[in-house]
Structure 1
Amino acid sequence: MNRFGTALLSLSMTLPAAGLAKADDYPSRPVSIVVPYPPGGAVDGVARVLAATLSVKTGKTFVVDNRAGGAGGVVGSSDVVKAAPDGYTLLLNASIHVVTPLINKNVPFDVVNDFTHISGIAAGPLLITTNPSDKANTLKEFFAEVKAAPDSYNFATSGYGSAGHLAVEVLKGEAGVDTEVVTYKGAGPALTDMIGGQVQLIADPILSSLPHVKAGRLKPLAVTSLTRSPLAPDVPTVAESGMPALEMLSWYGVWAPKNLDPKAAEYLGKVIQDVVTSTEFKDKLTVFGFEPMYKNSADLKAFVVDETQRYSKIVKTAGIKVE
């Protein structure tokens, strides 16, 4: 064989190895964690903790990419569905990811089958608050006021179909009131109107609500967990507030486009597990009122199926309209 033929043979033998080395180098560029909401809310906060901790632990670059577009996060989530399944575009969303298809007839994806389920990462209760000027100090007292003067009250939610929205609808049903729930595009504007007195009740993650409670701008009534939150130990649970027990957690997960590259799926599954089960991640989440909720790919998918069934019943019972 002449030297030209030998060179070709040598090149052909090295190409597969070079390709394998490149695949094994994932991620070789920044990984985008899409948050389908504006900066500043609970989903954004959890995403930034995850991205920062992943970057430190792996030495790779993970960045938060806010792609707000309304519609319960449908726009940003749709971007992820259409992205290349190479592991460089991920979605971080909350429980509203599962609820939105139940109340929005124009969702262009299936939350079970159109994503690769990567990991469950966090969960936390909601803080139910009212205005400091309100005389009620418990949920039971508050809803007694509402029943006595229903036209004087409006409730708020930071997102149609969010955990906070469902919690308020459940409470309305238990109290026997039909108060309007005003939908806002995010926690920021909802809490601004709460503080201003335009609306009188909201259930929102501790991350966004507690600072206003500590500053005296909002009055806490209850938390939507079965036990009190360590961050707000003086705030009773819904059951302790004189109403039937309610557990409504805001939970968070990571997804990728379906048919994710196996090497990327394996890498992400391992490093996210390492982060979510780490002391550093737990400590950072605790400040926000959340706890780690690790679920592997199969467990997250099963959890999504179960939560879909649970939320379907709540939507039907509460008469939440499909938009």
Structure 2
Amino acid sequence: MNRRQMILASAAGGLGVLAAPAIHAQGAWPHGRPIRVICPWPPGAANDALARLLAARLQEKLGATAVVENRTGGAGLVGTTAVLAAPPDGFTLLASAFNTAVMPLVLKGATFDPQRDLEVMARTAQAPLVMVISGQRPQRTLAEVIAAAKARPRDWSFAISSLGSAGHLATIEFNRRTGVEIDMVTYRGTQPALTDLMGGSAQLLIDPSFALLPATGDGRIRALGIATAERSSLAPDVPTMAEAGLPNYRFQSWYGVWSPKGTPAEINQRVNALMQETMREPAIVERLKSQVLEPVTESIEETRRFIAAEISRATELLRSVNYQPE
């Protein structure tokens, strides 16, 4: 387990024990059998930490028995498919990320409609994206990278942590906006992408800040810009992408909870209220912020509108570059 995974695992455990005393639910749910919280990503990632926080809160505040299942594979499709096929009774939930909303746009095998075939319960957190460069490259600024990549595009490659990730779409937008033709190489997660970046076999990576900023300390990778409106207090020396030369370049990853289509509205609302309450607790807020994660508190309707806007933006971007699902 690497340092970033150890930090996130510690955060998951720490977040779980901060819960308030149990408030037992009324009626059949969540009693009767364990609630499965399916995370379609490996242990140690932010998705996993937030899934374990959800499971802990279901147990501690609703008196449920909840277990996290990491069902990985297919860029998140394996775990998502398991939730799509589950009965809509509140005993199977999906704890995933941005990928869930755009998966059908980028994966041939994803034939579901996230707005039609899943019930959104809550958005829980978000994280800005940051662009980093291999420390083996001499370029220090975004302008220098763009000039070098235009002159010799075959000398450059972008590592992509996962098809359909926020970083994947942000990379497509970077190529489109700058006019460069940098090849994209897809990995099975951020860690193997980072490993190749540090070794110099990949040159660039755009991914969530919680995954990349902690890795910039030893010089093997350097941050070029963060995709936010203002500089982050946790990385004040990293310019925004706008300051670096790309105005209005803003991207973030985000994380949420879904249930199968047809799950009773009162169950969805109960989970939404539970996570809003959790994400307002000062101890939770501070712990997430220390990992460059921002808690989100939204109603179900607000989250539906947010996801619809994200899908619309992704659809327009992919259509503009004639992207074909892989």
What is the CA-CA distance between 1:58 and the residue it aligns to?
A: 4.7
Aligned to 1:221: 224
Q: Distance in 2 between matches of 1:238 and 1:164?
A: 14
Deviation at 1:25, TM superposition (A): 5.7
Counterparts of 2:41 and 2:29, CA distance in 1: 31
CA distance in 2 between partners of 1:292 and 1:252 (Å): 10
Cα separation, partners in 2 of 1:61 and 1:225, compared to 1, 3 Å: farther
Determine the C-alpha separation between the residues in 1 that align with 2:142 and 2:62. Answer: 45
- Within the candidate set 291, 299, 302, 2:302 is matched to 299
Whole-angstrom distance in 1 between the partners of 2:141 and 2:49: 29
The match for 1:78 is: 81
**Equivalent residue number for residue 94 of structure 1:** 97
Q: Aligned residue for 1:44?
A: 48
**Gap runs ≥5 in structure 1:** 1-20
Given the superposition, is the C-alpha separation of residues 145 and 281 from structure 1 closer, same or farther in structure 2, using an over 3 Å criterion?
same
| Alignment partner, residue 206 of structure 1 | 209
Aligned to 1:35: 39
Q: Which amino acid aligns with 2:41?
A: Y
User: Is this contact kept in 2: 1:54–1:275, CA < 8 A?
Assistant: no
- Bigger relative CO (Cα 8 Å, ≥ 6 apart): 1
1:171 aligns with 2:174: yes
- TM-score by structure 2 length? 0.86
Q: How many residues are paired up? A: 302
| CA distance in 2: counterparts of 1:242 and 1:269, whole angstroms | 39
Q: What is the distance in 2 between the residues matched to 1:81 and 1:90?
A: 10
- Equivalent pair of 2:127/2:210 in contact (CA under 8 Å): no
Q: Are the aligned partners of 2:242 and 2:249 in contact in 1 as well (CA < 8 Å)?
A: yes
1:26 maps to which of 23, 30, 44? 30
Q: Which moved more, 1:299-308 or 1:120-129?
A: 299-308
Partner of 1:115: 118
Counterparts of residues 151-166 of structure 1 (less than 5 Å)? 151-166=154-169
Runs of at least 5 residues in structure 2 that lack an aligned partner in the other structure: 1-24
User: How much does 1:54 deviate?
Assistant: 5.1
Change in CA separation of 1:32 and 1:134 when aligned onto 2, cut-off 3 Å: same
Task: Tell me the amino acid that sits aligned with residue 140 of structure 1.
Answer: A
Question: What code does the residue aligned with 2:50 have?
Answer: V
What are the superposed Cα offsets for residues 158-215 of structure 1, whole Å, 9 maximum, x if unpaired?
Answer: 0112110111111112221111100111111111111111110001112221221123
> 1:22, CA displacement in angstroms?
7.3
Give the conservation status (yes or no) of the 8 Å contact 1:102–1:322: yes
- The 2-side partners of 1:46 and 1:224 are apart by 22
| Counterpart for residue 315 of structure 1 | 318
Cα distance change, pair 143–56 in 1 and its aligned pair in 2 (3 A): farther
Larger radius of gyration: 1
Matched residue, 2:233: 230
TM-score by length of 1: 0.87
Q: 1:174·1:244 contact (CA, 8 Å) conserved in 2?
A: no
**Is 1:265 matched up with 2:239?**
no
Distance (whole Å) between structure 2 residues aligned to residue 237 and residue 174 of structure 1: 16
- Calculate percent identity across the aligned residue pairs: 38
RMSD value, Cα: 2.0
CA distance in 2: counterparts of 1:69 and 1:119, whole angstroms: 23
Contact 1:54 1:62 in 2 (8 A): yes
User: CA 1:297 to 1:137, structure 2 compared with 1: closer, same or farther past 3 Å?
Assistant: same
- Shifted more, 98-107 versus 49-58: the winner is 49-58
Tell me the CA shift for residue 319 of structure 1.
3.1
Which stretch of structure 1 is more off in the superposition, 278-287 or 252-261? 278-287
Whether contact under 8 Å (2:83, 2:259) holds in the other structure is: yes
